Structure 1
Amino acid sequence: MNKIMFFAHLRDRVGEESLTKDVSGKTISELKQMLEENYGLKLDSVMAAVNEEFASDDEVIQAGDTIAFIPPVSGG
């Protein structure tokens, strides 16, 4: 199983801080697509981290990994 964490407006959209799903064997890109379809998220500009390290869209998720989706930060 994998823990999928959401931050900022993504958390509000999903309605939960995290989900637990078995997504091992999928790429970050495949997971993003699944979340976009199931929750209406827009994740094209969102950073992903696997086990607290930034990850590319082609990284393959392993069993037990924690995935976080972090939207861009803006400010002044």
Structure 2
Amino acid sequence: MSVTVLFLGPLRDMAGAPDAQYPAPLDWEGLLASVPPAVAEQLHEPRVHVACAGKVLGDKAALIAQDGDEVALLPPVSGG
């Protein structure tokens, strides 16, 4: 039973991989404890969003990912 966490944009470089598997269920505290420290630090930034099962969470701390869910870590979008 696991949750797939996708590291997008610069978070991928910080994680050293495009994704990782973590035990389910996975909540906010579990996510912060599981990802590399540099990624966990970025997740505290208000401009970094979290999506679970295809839906962006309004409150990251409300994360409850179940077995088979995909959690995407979305860095700020830049461009012009």
| TM more than 0.5 | yes
> Counterpart of 2:14 in structure 1: which amino acid?
R
Q: What's the CA shift for 1:2?
A: 0.8
> What are the ranges of 5 or more consecutive residues in structure 1 without an aligned counterpart?
none
Please identify runs of 4+ aligned residues in structure 1 that moved more than 2 A: none
Q: What's the CA shift for 1:13?
A: 0.9
Q: CA–CA distance in 1 between the matches of 2:69 and 2:76? A: 22
Higher-helix-fraction structure:
2
How many residues are matched?
72
> Counterpart of 1:50 in structure 2: which amino acid?
C
Map of 1:71 onto structure 2: 75
Q: Which deviations, in whole Å up to 9, do the C-alpha atoms of 1:25-69 show, x marking residues without a partner?
A: x32x3144212xx33222123110011111232131211111000
TM-score, with length taken from structure 2? 0.76
Higher-strand-fraction structure:
2
Q: CA–CA distance in 2 between the matches of 1:11 and 1:72? A: 13
- State percent identity of aligned pairs: 26
